[in-house]
Structure 1
Amino acid sequence: MSAFTRALFGRRARRRWIHLILGGALAMPYVFVGQLIVGPATDSRYVFQDLTLQLASFAVGLPLAAVTALFPLTRPLESGAVRWLCGVAEDRLAYDPARGRAAKGRTAAWFTLHLGLGGIVSGMSLAVPPFAVFLILLPALARFRPDLVDLPGPLGGTWAPALAPLAGVACLVALAACAAGCGALLARWAPALLGPAPEDRLAAAERRAADLAVRNRLARELHDSVGHALSAVTLQASAARRVLDSDPEFVREALAAIEDTTRRTVGELDAVLGVLRDGDAPGTAPAPTLGADLGALVRRTRAGGLRVDCDLGVDPAALPPLVSREAYRIVQEGLSNALRHGGAGARVAVRIARAGDRVEITVENPLTGSAPGRPGGGHGLRGIADRARLLGGTSEAGPAGDRWRLCVRLPMKGCA
């Protein structure tokens, strides 16, 4: 019994009833237009007073509603109302304007169905409750004010007033059942008529893929710039602390390197966060490149205690800008791994050379600490592989005897 009561008068049923009444309210202007058509066509001056003419006006107005449903905002507005009032899941509805003949046709069908059922339920909601209240009060009226009660024919017997309250309650229950049934029907048909079409799902998937690509790119930039800076600053500070009393000159150089590293990293961080906030970062510092920033990167790494041998066998100015930027980040991550895993005073070899139509980047360091590719380690090598793959290149990393070797090949052609 409680389930039956919730189905007819529960929160969901009441919200769906409100949704139907809103549909009836939206249908009223179309009914008025239908009256302007039906009245002259039937040569009737009082369309309001004839139920048949009212229904005819309603039938004439619904096709007009279907035509106006082609308005672009119809589907977003209807989807929002269905989500909040009919309890349909958000991911089963489309919230952008309908595009294409099929989507517009489904939207028009939904709008017509909503207004049609809403007009019927709204009319019943206006007419049935007063009549039901009259039936419920009929025994009292027949007893105390018989002059107000004049039932025709067989209804004028003594049994009619006694059964009238039951009939009134039955009318209210029937109204609630009709509203609940129409609301359930609209909720069932909403995903089919207002849901995303295959092209909408494809567009949404493309947007999600584009957002994911942007987030992955930002994650790589943050990892490579901030991660390298933190590793370099940590080792520089540690080296300066150990020789604080014996080598003040080295301490001054380490502090200068820390200052330069943090300043550059803050600039890069501002650029990345600008992209994150605005989708673009006009006026922010440009991304570092191999030609303009490799020397400073090597100097900062040497200040951290590593001995870096850099063999630049290619003219950085001849590299495409995209290759130059990605090559810088790859070298930066390779040196970060060397800082973390090579040990103090380790010798790191960086070689950048031209190999046919590709540029080959190699970073080698002694494998005296834990391997950079240890299980559960960071995401640096994965980021390098992603950068290489996006440019159509390859990436290899692993032990080579007693040394760790990172080798990345990037294509020169097709990169602007």
Structure 2
Amino acid sequence: MSVLRFLLGRRARRRWVHLILGGALAMPYVLVGELVLGPVGGSANVSGSFPLQLLAFVVGLPLAALTSLFPLTRPLEAGAVRWLCGVDEERLAFGPARTRAARARTAAWFTLHLGFGGIIAGMSLAVPPFAAVLIVLPVFVWLRDSRLGLPEVLDQGWALALAPVVGVLALLALTACAAGVGVLLARWAPALLGPAPEDRLAAAEARAADLAVRNRLARELHDSVGHALSAVTLQASAARRVLDTDPEFVREALAAIEDTTRRTVGELDAVLGVLRDGDAPGTAPAPTLAADLDGLLRRTRASGLPVTARVDVDPGALPPVLSREAYRIVQEGLSNVLRHAGAGAAVTLLIGASDADLEITVENPLVEVPASRAGGGHGLRGVADRARLLGGCSRAGPEQHTWRLYVRLPMKGSASA
């Protein structure tokens, strides 16, 4: 059963079609070879001479190798190999051959495809009719007297009896040749049509760049939306508790909720604009320490979280990239307190400079260490990623009776990070 699948299975039939297409592509080159060899054979038409036809086929193959240098050759051949030969898409290169080595491999593949395809296509045209005649020859003896060019040995009885066997063997040989050559081409295709080392490197760099963008967007979504949800939840909870006793606080909480959600929707639109194909990024500016530190502290305090902040640097003098990443780090530090310590936990925020580094410290009293903090959440990993990308460092954890987040960021070299 496995032998029949190898010879006549769906994949084998598709590869046979691929070879016949190669033979069809070889025909124009064979015709050019016949025109070249016409004067050599003493006639303008060499179709009557099999040796000259074979020589014309050989002459046409170098011409095929030259025309394979066109940019579309490799994409078209790779597509045909993928669909007809069953080669995985990841093992093929679908772009034009750019380097000399890639063009040489493409020329070698195109020559092999047309060469083997021409041979198998010729056999596919000649062998089946001849085999059919041999198979029915004992029944239709009059075929021996026709002008089919049958060998004289078939006039003998033993040869006539063996003719059907020879016919069946000829069909099996044709099928085996087509299947075997199809397997060889499928094995050679990744080496000749596959990506070169430089192509793989470029693809890896593109995937790494795409992954970096996705990770950055994930951090932005986590920090902005996560902080907003934590703040809004606590603000709404605090307003509900004092709804009847402190209307002024309720108004401030509702105003803070409105401001927080409006800003977060703008940031969310900016991030989603990057994710949508063909859409321009949103127009909401990325928040920075210089632009929104006071607003961030105000909205956090409106959640019922007392924040004591000391800023010993001028936020407006920081490089834009550093100011933006520092804002997100401060935002995440305050969000952690909102999520894990809850409203009422006193927070101390320190932003200063030491040895040309920006230092950010967020501290709050530690009542107990929640289990979720033991391994660090996505937010703390995001803080570590931001610090590492800027060449800095971070650490977070309990210190005596205090939960402490400390981040150090170099201020030099951050302008173009």
Tell me if TM exceeds 0.5. yes
Superposition RMSD on alpha carbons, in Å? Answer: 1.9
Quote the residue 1:89 is aligned against: 88
Quote the residue 1:214 is aligned against: 213
Quote the residue 1:191 is aligned against: 190
1:409 alignment partner AA: R
User: Aligned equivalents of 2:137 and 2:152: distance in 1?
Assistant: 16
Q: Following TM superposition, by how much is the alpha carbon of 1:194 offset from its aligned partner in structure 2, in angstroms?
A: 1.5
CA contact (8 A) 1:141 1:149 kept: no
CA contact (8 A) 2:144 2:155 kept: no
Q: Following TM superposition, by how much is the alpha carbon of 1:158 offset from its aligned partner in structure 2, in angstroms?
A: 3.2
Quote the residue 1:401 is aligned against: 400
Q: Following TM superposition, by how much is the alpha carbon of 1:278 offset from its aligned partner in structure 2, in angstroms?
A: 4.4
Greater shift, 378-387 or 281-290, is seen at: 281-290
CA contact (8 A) 2:137 2:144 kept: no
1:412 paired with 2:411, answer: yes
User: Aligned equivalents of 2:278 and 2:376: distance in 1?
Assistant: 30
**Residues 37-62 of structure 1: per-residue CA shift (max 9 Å, x gap):** 11133332221222111111111110
Q: Following TM superposition, by how much is the alpha carbon of 1:111 offset from its aligned partner in structure 2, in angstroms?
A: 0.8
Q: Following TM superposition, by how much is the alpha carbon of 1:129 offset from its aligned partner in structure 2, in angstroms?
A: 0.9
**Residues 387-413 of structure 1: per-residue CA shift (max 9 Å, x gap):** 011111111211122111111111111
User: Aligned equivalents of 1:152 and 1:104: distance in 2?
Assistant: 47
SS at match of 1:350: strand
CA contact (8 A) 1:76 1:94 kept: yes
User: Aligned equivalents of 2:25 and 2:170: distance in 1?
Assistant: 25
- Give the fraction of aligned pairs with identical amino acids, expressed as a percent: 74
**Residues 24-48 of structure 1: per-residue CA shift (max 9 Å, x gap):** 1111111111112111333322212
Query: Structure 1's 152 and 190: CA in aligned 2 closer, same or farther, altered over 3 A?
Result: closer
2:193 alignment partner AA: L
Aligned residues: 414
CA contact (8 A) 1:337 1:372 kept: no
User: Aligned equivalents of 2:309 and 2:285: distance in 1?
Assistant: 24
1:350 alignment partner AA: L
Query: Structure 1's 358 and 96: CA in aligned 2 closer, same or farther, altered over 3 A?
Result: same
CA contact (8 A) 1:291 1:316 kept: yes
Quote the residue 1:107 is aligned against: 106
User: Aligned equivalents of 1:174 and 1:20: distance in 2?
Assistant: 16
Matches within 5 A, 1:21-170: 21-142=20-141, 148=146, 153-170=152-169
Q: Following TM superposition, by how much is the alpha carbon of 1:369 offset from its aligned partner in structure 2, in angstroms?
A: 4.9
Query: Structure 1's 51 and 152: CA in aligned 2 closer, same or farther, altered over 3 A?
Result: closer
Quote the residue 1:361 is aligned against: 360
Quote the residue 1:384 is aligned against: 383
User: Aligned equivalents of 2:63 and 2:334: distance in 1?
Assistant: 70
1:12 alignment partner AA: R
Q: Following TM superposition, by how much is the alpha carbon of 1:175 offset from its aligned partner in structure 2, in angstroms?
A: 0.5
Greater shift, 201-210 or 380-389, is seen at: 201-210
Quote the residue 1:312 is aligned against: 311
User: Aligned equivalents of 1:395 and 1:377: distance in 2?
Assistant: 12
2:125 alignment partner AA: L
Runs of 5+ consecutive residues of structure 1 not aligned to the other structure? none
Quote the residue 2:283 is aligned against: 284
Query: Structure 1's 248 and 352: CA in aligned 2 closer, same or farther, altered over 3 A?
Result: same
Runs of 5+ consecutive residues of structure 2 not aligned to the other structure? none
Q: Following TM superposition, by how much is the alpha carbon of 1:280 offset from its aligned partner in structure 2, in angstroms?
A: 7.7
1:214 alignment partner AA: V
Quote the residue 2:294 is aligned against: 295
1:180 paired with 2:184, answer: no
2:132 alignment partner AA: V
CA contact (8 A) 2:6 2:12 kept: yes
What is the TM-score of this pair, normalised by structure 2?
Answer: 0.94
User: Aligned equivalents of 2:306 and 2:278: distance in 1?
Assistant: 39
SS at match of 1:121: helix
Q: Following TM superposition, by how much is the alpha carbon of 1:372 offset from its aligned partner in structure 2, in angstroms?
A: 8.6
Query: Structure 1's 229 and 238: CA in aligned 2 closer, same or farther, altered over 3 A?
Result: same
User: Aligned equivalents of 2:145 and 2:277: distance in 1?
Assistant: 77
Q: Following TM superposition, by how much is the alpha carbon of 1:245 offset from its aligned partner in structure 2, in angstroms?
A: 1.7
Query: Structure 1's 370 and 255: CA in aligned 2 closer, same or farther, altered over 3 A?
Result: farther
Q: Following TM superposition, by how much is the alpha carbon of 1:152 offset from its aligned partner in structure 2, in angstroms?
A: 5.2
**Residues 2-37 of structure 1: per-residue CA shift (max 9 Å, x gap):** 222111111111111011011111111111111121
CA contact (8 A) 1:132 1:167 kept: yes
**Residues 169-215 of structure 1: per-residue CA shift (max 9 Å, x gap):** 11111110110111111112112212222211211111111111111
CA contact (8 A) 1:141 1:148 kept: no
